Amino acid sequence: LMAYEQAIRQVSWEFNSDTENDARIELLNESKDALTTSWNDHITEVLTMLPFGFSVFEIVYQRVGSKILWRKFAPRGQNTVYQWRIDDDGGLGGFTQISPPTYRPTFLPVEKLILYRTRVERNNPEGRSILRSAWIPYYYAKHIQQIEAIGIERDLAGMPMVRLPEGADTAENAN
């Protein structure tokens, strides 16, 4: 996971357009520069999708002069997602979050969200963890290590020895 994160964080991010002097690109760059956290920090939060399969953010805006720009992309922890709302047409409508300190259900509509997923399959908003295919090898490796550790512990404990007092008879028919 760290190798993926370090490689992706090395990328230089920029917005491009086929049109010269595109006002949309200027607005995007202005919005990116106005974020309260760095773009690199946002990418670090995005990469939590690798072990979880998804990461979700609430878009928070701010007014700067006559423009409305991004203020932040507030991360919403994967463990706070209580329920996804799927529209009648099968599209994502948003999700209900239960998080500290209030632990009250709060609905966040899809219009206020950015959802990153490792893959899109049957429109599942939770994607799929990149660690999922490693589960079976991990399970066996972990249990084999435990069994080996128990075996090593038993071997290092030595064999039990019994010392008989002097003159003790070891014959089977002895009383």
Q: What are the CB-based long-range contacts (under 8 Å, 24+) for 29-38?
A: 30/64, 30/67, 30/69, 31/69, 31/70, 32/70, 34/62, 34/64, 34/69, 34/70, 34/71, 35/70, 35/71, 35/72, 35/73, 36/71, 36/72, 37/72, 37/73
Residue 148 is inside which H or E element, if any?
A: helix 135-156
Q: What is the DSSP letter of 157?
A: T
* 3: confidence class by pLDDT, cuts 50, 70, 90: very high
Q: Sign of the CA dihedral 32, 35, 41, 42?
A: negative
Q: Tell whether the model's pLDDT for residue 120 goes beyond 70.
A: yes
Name the pTM for this structure. 0.74
Q: Tell whether the model's pLDDT for residue 20 goes beyond 90.
A: no
* 22: confidence class by pLDDT, cuts 50, 70, 90: confident
